[in-house]
Amino acid sequence: MIWPQTRIGWLAAWSFAVFVVLYIIHGVMIKAAAQSQWWLTVVLPYFGNALLVTVIMASLGGVVAWFIRGDGAWAVRTATLPIWVWLTVRVFIAVITVLGW
């Protein structure tokens, strides 16, 4: 099953899709900001907030849909990728800190 069966699953999937589009736009605009500073001073703070909201909605909605509601669609599983990456990085940093590297 590819598409979600629950409302929270659809919310997570669409939030993740919006996050990916905004993230691509952000990468392009950061490169373009070398020529003009308007992106960094005027738009970036609000754009960053939009990125944060969409990634939180995708991650938490995906976890709720997948583990609590039992919606195991691939779109929901993909929406949980940001939280898995965040957890992996946090564990990696903790292991490096404990090992003293």
Q: What is the pLDDT of residue 48?
A: 86
SS (H, E, C) the chain: CCCCCCHHHHHHHHHHHHHHHHHHHHHHHHHHCCCCCHHHHHHHHHHHHHHHHHHHHHHHHHHHHHHHCCCCCHHHHHHCHHHHHHHHHHHHHHHHHHHCC
Tokens of 21: 């589009």
Each of the 101 residues of the chain gets a pLDDT tens digit; together they read 889 999 999 999 999 999 999 999 888 887 777 777 777 778 888 888 999 999 999 999 999 999 998 888 999 999 999 999 999 999 999 999 999 87
Rounded CA separation 90/5 (Å): 31
pTM (2 d.p.)? 0.82
